[in-house]
């Protein structure tokens, strides 16, 4: 059970304009759902919306309640109705643990509703996880422009091109996406594979500025510098990576090798020994050439912070940063 004070605080912290909390009750055959809709833009004013009926009608009751709460949908948010049979196969598909059965169910969902963006994306993702990258892109390319799954599909398609060795097409797909940490990390990896060291380092440096707590961009810069024999830069970036992920066997091994090249043999031996204790795979590198080690992000979330955090939302969020201010604001909102 979440108190009203807590729900207000959560709403402020997440940038919400409206929060909805509710309860349900049953008396005999009668079932009631009550939703409390709080408008944070209007100093926490709240309205209650109720629906009641029989328990077996709970799905239609929740639909009626949602319609009353939402009122007129915002422009651009209305989606075509999904045929029930396609939706059922989609749900069964994404919940099925067997990869082949999942693919078959999602194929059925798409056959029943060819414009089904969610099913096309999950089908493409299922093929991607099975490393069937070409077929994955065939599904992802069918997702309509304007679909909420389009950007995620394009990101996955870029990964498919990367794994297929088509780095130009991977870069083209990534360049059309918002430049968040994951996109920049993967763009740098593609440029590195093409031999564009300067371009890769620029992308990874930008990624560290967006997310200073992301270790993979530092690792990639350290690895690329190591391969080029720039051991000072390699040591600097690998140390930054290890500050964020201290038991990273690959970073420890590379740092040990970089120290070895600089004649710091005691430090080198300790780091390499630690790395090989952590990973049998890394231990094989003692006698084998280093594999390609550039790291990529395999998933991402696209958000536009400039659109989310308006001045009014930031002001509401600021109320929750100071405890005394928060308590006063909560009390005022509850009493209003």
Tell me the pLDDT band of 16, cut-offs 50, 70 and 90. Answer: confident
Tell me the pLDDT band of 335, cut-offs 50, 70 and 90. Answer: low
% pLDDT > 70, the chain: 86
pLDDT top residue among 38 and 161? 161
Tell me the pLDDT band of 329, cut-offs 50, 70 and 90. Answer: low
Same domain, 3 and 86: no
Same domain, 314 and 217: no
Q: Sign of torsion, CA 221 222 225 226?
A: negative
Tell me the pLDDT band of 320, cut-offs 50, 70 and 90. Answer: low
**Cβ-contact 137, 157 below 8 angstroms:** yes
Q: Which pair of structure tokens corresponds to residue 154?
A: 């394009």
Average pLDDT of 6-26?
A: 79
Half-sphere exposure of 177 (CA within 13 A, CB side): 28
Average pLDDT of 52-70?
A: 83
Nearest Cα neighbor of 333 from 6, 33, 1 is 6
Tell me the pLDDT band of 304, cut-offs 50, 70 and 90. Answer: low
Same domain, 115 and 200: no
Q: How many domains does the chain have?
A: 3
Asked whether residue 10 carries a pLDDT value surpassing 90, the answer given is no
Same domain, 152 and 219: no
Is residue 53 helix, strand or coil? strand
pLDDT top residue among 118 and 70? 118
Tell me the pLDDT band of 67, cut-offs 50, 70 and 90. Answer: confident
Asked whether residue 226 carries a pLDDT value surpassing 90, the answer given is yes
CA dihedral 109, 113, 114, 120 (to 10 degrees): -40
pLDDT computed for residue 183 by the predictor:
98
pLDDT computed for residue 82 by the predictor:
87
**Cβ-contact 27, 7 below 8 angstroms:** no
| Degrees to nearest 5, angle at CA 19 with 11 and 8 | 40
pLDDT top residue among 166 and 28? 166
pLDDT computed for residue 78 by the predictor:
60
Average pLDDT of 176-180?
A: 95
pLDDT computed for residue 5 by the predictor:
73
Q: Please state, in angstroms and rounded to a whole number, the distance separating the CA atoms of residues 158 and 137.
A: 9
pLDDT 10s digits, 187-225: 999 999 999 999 999 999 999 999 999 999 999 999 999
| CATH number of the domain where residue 211 is located | 1.25.40.10
Same domain, 205 and 297: yes
Tell me the residue range of the domain where 58 lies. 1-78+304-336
Strand partners, 26: 31
Query: CA gyration radius for the chain?
Result: 26
pLDDT top residue among 150 and 20? 150
* Mean pLDDT score across all residues of the chain: 88
Asked whether residue 306 carries a pLDDT value surpassing 50, the answer given is no
Average pLDDT of 262-280?
A: 97
Same domain, 171 and 161: yes
Same domain, 57 and 155: no
Same domain, 297 and 190: yes
Contacts of 32 (CB under 8 A, 6+ apart): 24, 25, 26, 50, 51, 52
Q: Please state, in angstroms and rounded to a whole number, the distance separating the CA atoms of residues 214 and 242.
A: 11
Same domain, 274 and 203: yes
Boundary (domain end) residue, out of 177, 205, 225: 177
Q: How far is CA 150 from the centre of its chain?
A: 14
Same domain, 264 and 324: no
**Cβ-contact 142, 119 below 8 angstroms:** no
Same domain, 90 and 122: yes
Helix (H) or strand (E) holding 47: strand 45-54
Q: How far is CA 140 from the centre of its chain?
A: 18
pLDDT computed for residue 37 by the predictor:
86
pLDDT 10s digits, 101-148: 999 999 999 999 999 999 999 999 999 999 999 999 999 999 988 889
pTM score over 0.85? no
Same domain, 296 and 309: no
Boundary (domain end) residue, out of 118, 149, 177: 177
DSSP-derived pairing of the beta strands 30-39 and 45-54: antiparallel
């Amino acid at each position: 059970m979440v108190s009203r004070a807590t729900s207000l605080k959560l709403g402020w912290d997440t940038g919400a304009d409206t929060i909805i909390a509710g309860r349900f009750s049953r008396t005999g055959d009668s079932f009631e759902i009550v939703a409390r809709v709080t408008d944070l833009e209007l100093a926490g004013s709240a309205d209650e919306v109720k629906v009641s009926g029989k328990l077996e009608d709970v799905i239609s009751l929740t639909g009626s309640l949602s319609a009353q709460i939402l009122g007129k949908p915002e422009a651009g948010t209305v989606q075509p109705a999904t045929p029930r049979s396609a939706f059922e196969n989609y749900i069964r598909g994404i919940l099925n643990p067997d990869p082949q059965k999942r693919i078959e169910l999602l194929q059925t969902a798409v056959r029943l509703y060819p414009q089904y963006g969610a099913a096309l994306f999950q089908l493409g993702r299922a093929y991607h996880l099975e490393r069937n990258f070409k077929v994955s892109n065939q599904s992802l390319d069918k997702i309509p422009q304007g679909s909420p799954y389009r950007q995620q599909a394009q990101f996955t398609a870029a990964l498919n091109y990367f794994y297929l060795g088509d780095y130009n097409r991977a870069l083209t797909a990534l360049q059309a996406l918002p430049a968040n940490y994951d996109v920049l990390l993967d763009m740098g990896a593609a440029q590195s594979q093409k031999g564009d060291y300067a371009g890769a380092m620029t992308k990874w440096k930008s990624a560290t500025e967006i997310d200073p707590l992301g270790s993979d961009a530092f690792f990639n810069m350290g690895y690329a510098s190591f391969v080029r024999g720039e051991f000072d830069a390699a040591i600097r970036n690998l140390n930054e990576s290890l500050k964020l992920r201290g038991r990273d066997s690959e970073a420890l091994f590379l740092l040990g090798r970089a120290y070895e090249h600089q004649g710091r043999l005691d430090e080198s031996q300790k780091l390499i020994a630690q790395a090989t204790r952590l990973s049998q795979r890394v231990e094989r590198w003692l006698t084998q050439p280093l594999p390609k080690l550039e790291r990529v992000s395999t998933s991402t979330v696209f958000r536009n912070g400039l659109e989310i955090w308006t001045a009014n939302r930031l002001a509401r969020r600021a109320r929750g940063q100071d405890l005394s201010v928060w308590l006063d604001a909560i009390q005022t909102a509850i009493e209003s």
